[in-house]
A = this chain, B = another copy of it.
């Protein structure tokens, strides 16, 4: 019997790392894998768990870039010849545990340069992230803060959503300060004001600190595109 397996790009990468016996490291909730600005000679690939990457501005505010909740390369913004070895972002573990493959940056790029399939993975990785980022930029620039919150809530469905009878349960706890950091809102109380409006309009409910999205169409209508 022949079983034909078609691997996705990321599955191929994970297999490759496993076969090359790349070491794994495991980190606990709310610890940091990397700090923005610190020198770092490793590339990390998330195996399982949930992480958030963010940037701390000079004035102390935190800009949240993204959650990553499935296997993915954490950051490829530096390549083998980049003069800067600064980590571009903070990476904080948001699940109880997260596991990462840890490869020397130079070794990682050796793998890539020797393997056309991995080259293709990297090309697609960049193109996909760039495309997502342009879209997000558009959404953030062309909407007010309410639109930003609605867009953010909408994006949570794809990341953490589970369909239940009366809508979509976001099966992950997101605080008002988190939302503020993603949407560029100045305080948790401002976030709360908007969330209150959404609750009053029957768009969302909160149960055990988790959002339930009851009216996806309302969210979409708030997002310019």
Contacts and interface: CB of A to CB of B under 8 A. Distances in A.
Nearest to A224: B57
Which range contains the number of A residues in contact with the other chain?
35 or more
A59 B143 CA distance: 12
A208 interface: no
B141 A63 contact: yes
B61 A142 contact: yes
Nearest to A134: B133
A129 interface: yes
Contacts of A127: 76-77, 79, 126
Contacts of A124: 79
Contact of A77 (B131, B224, B225): B131
Listed from nearest, the 7 A-B pairs whose CB atoms lie closest are A126-B126, A141-B184, A133-B133, A130-B130, A137-B137, A142-B184, A63-B138
Given A65-B134, A133-B134, A140-B141, 16 more contacts: A55-B138, A57-B224, A61-B142, A61-B224, A65-B137, A77-B127, A77-B131, A79-B127, A119-B119, A122-B123, A126-B126, A126-B127, A130-B133, A133-B137, A141-B148, A141-B184
